[in-house]
Amino acid sequence: MKNFNGRLAVITGGGAGMGRELAIQLAREGCHIAMCDLDEANMAETRELALADAPAGTRVSTHRCDVSDPEQIQAFRDAVLAEHDTNQINLLFNNAGIGGGGSFVNDAEENWQKTFDICWGGVYHCSRAFLPALIAADASHIVNTSSINGFWASIGPQTPHTAYSAAKFAVKGFSEALITDLRINAPHVKVSVVMPGHIGTSIVENSGKVLGRSPDSMTSEEISDLRDQLASSGLPVGNLPDDSIRDLIRQRARDFRDNAPTTAAEAANVIIDGVRAGRWRILIGDDAQIIDQLVRDDPEAAYDPDFVARISEHGHLQQLIAATEPQAG
């Protein structure tokens, strides 16, 4: 698919980050957009930004949908096809995701399950729901966002990272298996798996909102638990008041977004170029390239405590670990 003009792209998680940038860049090429998100205000802003540089006649629709809920996904699909008066779509970007549920041992089961259901369930159920519309088109492409955590289940030796990593491994495996399935049964439908490194998005902040773990909503008991985690990692926070801990959480979220080595706009550009080139495997960022190579070179050592130091020797992961380790929720 070399030309996106007049095509219809469905984007989950379109309210911010890579989803927003995909909408803006595709609309600029005359691609019609249907996006979903939980934050309607953010989606409205994305729509305004996307239409600002789009050719006349480009349509951008917004739809509130929790992609962890199959019934909401079905309603989203029906609304998209009705609003765009079609029975087909050309591009499906399964982009929505959150973090959380890091520890299978200690974290609340509902947080673990919610993270997994959004990051994996959203990909599966959206692909199921939109598959007939993808097949009905003359050319179409499924783009599933996995992560470096789809081939390396870690963000550092001190921080469990189970729910997100399990989901992203599932996304990667599903996408790779679809290559053969689609080639046999729907050869005009292509698939790509996207594996970003540290991208400058609001995922840390948004994850807290979705899981009820934003700084403003955390109870004193939750703040106390987080203070203990931070102190056990060696940070001098034992005497910090609750509001200072909340400020620390906010700052880490800002650092993750603002100090990333790759911006969301740069990531979206890499994804679109990868789709245009027909590539099934899209790594984003020098950090993703280095980590991928190091894991392939020595998989047995990938979870040794000093493995992150080997990554850092190549100049990567410092900002990511500073923003996420240790992480509550």
Listed by start position, the domains of the chain span 8-324
The pLDDT score that the predictor gives to residue 250 is: 83
Q: Provide CB contacts within 8 A for 3, sequence distance 6+.
A: 29
- CA distances to 120, 252, 304 from 311, in Å: 27, 21, 12
The residue count for the chain: 329
Rounded to whole angstroms, the Cα distance separating 25 from 247 reads: 34
- Residue 156: band (very low, low, confident or very high) from pLDDT cuts 50, 70, 90: confident
Fold of 8-324: Rossmann fold (3.40.50)
Buried b (16+ CB within 10 A) or exposed e, 179-196: eeebeeeeeebbbbbbbb
pTM of the model: 0.90
Q: How many CB atoms lie within 10 A of CB 26?
A: 28
* pLDDT on residue 318: 63
User: Can you give the pLDDT at residue 319?
Assistant: 55
Query: Per-residue confidence at 122, pLDDT binned at 50, 70, 90?
Result: very high
Active-site residue identified among 120, 151, 164, 169: 164
Q: How far is CA 168 from CA 12, 149, 155, 300, in A?
A: 16, 6, 13, 20
- Is residue 124 among the annotated active site residues? no
